[in-house]
Structure 1
């Protein structure tokens, strides 16, 4: 039986561990927190998983919360008017329909539950923070070591790929609040959707239904341009103050969203998060002091800004891709050539996410503004936008090049 060590117990590490376990591998999972510590700690992300990523969980029988989590049937885009009296206007306001529903499950719920399942199924769970020196020891005892912990010392083993990383500093300041008591959008009172609110020159707010430790909730998520009016959360330590600032900014820039959020309360004291990081693609293979090799997983090697909501989707798709690469490799050694090939297979998909996400961090060119505006005139355009969040490769056909965009809009208008 082949022995595999996975360091990191997030979406990718746990999904891969449980998938390998189901395929008969002897898997050790190393993480620095217990299931209870995760469940009782601070929120970790703003995950919204679309249909393909959800199917990877179903394929492994890991969709434990599917019947409880709100079903997200669409994705809406609203663009705020200029500051001043017109701030309450929405020159662009539409919602696209998803072909298959999306869902968001608080990672405190999912990761804690999956960790307990892994242990119950006989997996070796080691609660211990890992350093490079630890991996140097373990690499000699395992057939393969995978690093799925996207923060800390271990990430430094994977060098930055400058050719695939156009940004060397954070492009957004992030602020998250998990809340109870959010009202529906009055124009779609019975329709659950991710709401993308764009404030030109200032930043974005995303609102999404979620399942948390205390039941259904909603996530309020600001992405502010660094140095701008939304970049004010760094020194805020009190969760209630964090929410107060969030709502004040909503009142100023997104009054239509504030109207339904004015009476919200935090789900719990751990329901806020703030930070920033530079989107980075790294080389997938880390070399240990002894010469041993380890393979990076998901956001260890491809970390995108959350502006396009792809983090958990990428993690699930990376885990599924690596699982197939490992199982199909049989008893052959997991050498450098295999590691590079496994990453390259995943990168065939992830490159489209990275290209699209990096594009969305920059000021939109004229043809993109035309496409976003067309979503309000043509339901087909709105629906295609929404479903491209599940399949970002589709953007290559109509989004990035002015000529392709014009041809697409002409075909929609003619139809």
Structure 2
């Protein structure tokens, strides 16, 4: 029986640990917090998982909250009319909702990670509550067949060097501010099904609104992505959750009044319902070398950290765990050497590269052909639906998004159909 250590108990680390456990591997999972501490702590993320990522959870029978979480059947895009937010009422230049082929879902990671961690322990996995340092891994690399690092923050990430060719940004491109709320009103358009809303305020940032399941039941996430130094970059030093919410709503009233109209009765779901921060999107070398010569393999956002503007973090984590699980199972009794580690990462990068390319493109001001595409989606439902479904499979953007000629040809084909 091969012994594997997974450091980090997020979407990818837990999914991978539970998957390996179900195949008879002897798995140790290290987390810096207990399940109870996670459940009663602060929110850790926004997350909206699309069909492919949800299917990876179903394949491992880990979809414990599927019947409780809202079924997100659409994805809507609004673009504020230029200059309209200063002063006077904001109008929307673009506004539409595309339908998803398979529904998406959002489960608060406090709920999911705590539940999965308890399941891992109940199934006989060894759970170690300890914030691992590089020195710990030096020791463990000699006692385990494979060490996987899935803790995307802290000292361990420094073992994995930045890949400059795949990392065009060296600074954070957005200031992030999250609030989980109860009491949001229904969307005025298509209230009969749940949808994620992406509101673009050109030159200022984006507001995402998504239905979720949290520790206290059904809720919604209000998520601002502000261009650094701009009017949305206002949450630094805001420690009080109530102040965080009132600032969130104030900015909604100013920049997205159509969303603010639904939020006048919004209240935080709990004392830990807010989060703010920023990080530079970075792709790293997947193999970490320990002082004693041992090797460790980076997982998910340890090695590919994208800005959350495209909602891909938990999806990528799930896809990474699935790719790594398949590689480990195929390896049998062969050693997990450096060449295998690099091939394993390359297998994940085959899908992750499309996420990184698209996310980095969305962080830049949209070129004219992309604005034309978003505008056309309001008149042509097949365009809206294709854009929405590309969140599940971002490789599809290659065929209609980046290149003005391909975009034009695609729009002409739909308009003429």
Alignment partner, residue 131 of structure 1: 133
Alignment partner, residue 20 of structure 2: 20
- Provide TM-score, normalisation by structure 1: 0.99
Alignment partner, residue 396 of structure 2: 394
TM-superposition CA deviations, 1:201-254 (whole Å, max 9, x none):
000000000000000000000000000000000110000000000000000001
Alignment partner, residue 265 of structure 1: 267
Q: 2:120 aligns with which of 113, 118, 122?
A: 118
Alignment partner, residue 10 of structure 1: 10
How do 1:222-261 and structure 2 match up within 5 A? Answer: 222-261=224-263
Report the alpha carbon displacement of residue 84 of structure 1 after superposing the two structures with TM: 3.2
Q: 1:291 aligns with which of 279, 283, 293?
A: 293
Report the alpha carbon displacement of residue 86 of structure 1 after superposing the two structures with TM: 5.9
Q: Is the 8 A contact 1:80 1:87 kept in 2?
A: no
1 CA distance for matches of 2:191 and 2:283?
40
How do 1:94-113 and structure 2 match up within 5 A? Answer: 94-113=96-115
**Post-superposition, which runs of at least 4 consecutive aligned residues in structure 1 deviate over 4 A?**
none
- SS across alignment from 2:321: helix
TM-superposition CA deviations, 1:85-124 (whole Å, max 9, x none):
5642111000000000000000000000000000000000
Report the alpha carbon displacement of residue 130 of structure 1 after superposing the two structures with TM: 0.2
Q: 1:200 aligns with which of 185, 202, 215?
A: 202
2 CA distance for matches of 1:364 and 1:312?
25
Shifted more, 112-121 versus 185-194: the winner is 185-194
Report the alpha carbon displacement of residue 191 of structure 1 after superposing the two structures with TM: 1.7
Q: 1:160 aligns with which of 159, 162, 170?
A: 162
Report the alpha carbon displacement of residue 187 of structure 1 after superposing the two structures with TM: 1.8
Q: Is the 8 A contact 1:87 1:254 kept in 2?
A: no
1:70 aligns with 2:70: yes
Shifted more, 87-96 versus 116-125: the winner is 87-96
Alignment partner, residue 49 of structure 1: 49
Q: 2:177 aligns with which of 166, 175, 178?
A: 175
Q: Aligned pair count?
A: 415
TM-superposition CA deviations, 1:361-382 (whole Å, max 9, x none):
0011111111111110100000
Unaligned runs of 5+ in 2: none
TM-superposition CA deviations, 1:167-193 (whole Å, max 9, x none):
000000000000000001112222200
- SS across alignment from 1:146: strand
- Provide TM-score, normalisation by structure 2: 0.99
Alignment partner, residue 79 of structure 2: 79
2 CA distance for matches of 1:368 and 1:292?
46
Alignment partner, residue 325 of structure 1: 327
2 CA distance for matches of 1:275 and 1:313?
21
Q: Is the 8 A contact 1:5 1:145 kept in 2?
A: yes
- SS across alignment from 1:376: helix
2 CA distance for matches of 1:85 and 1:239?
28
Q: Is the 8 A contact 1:72 1:103 kept in 2?
A: yes
2 CA distance for matches of 1:372 and 1:328?
42
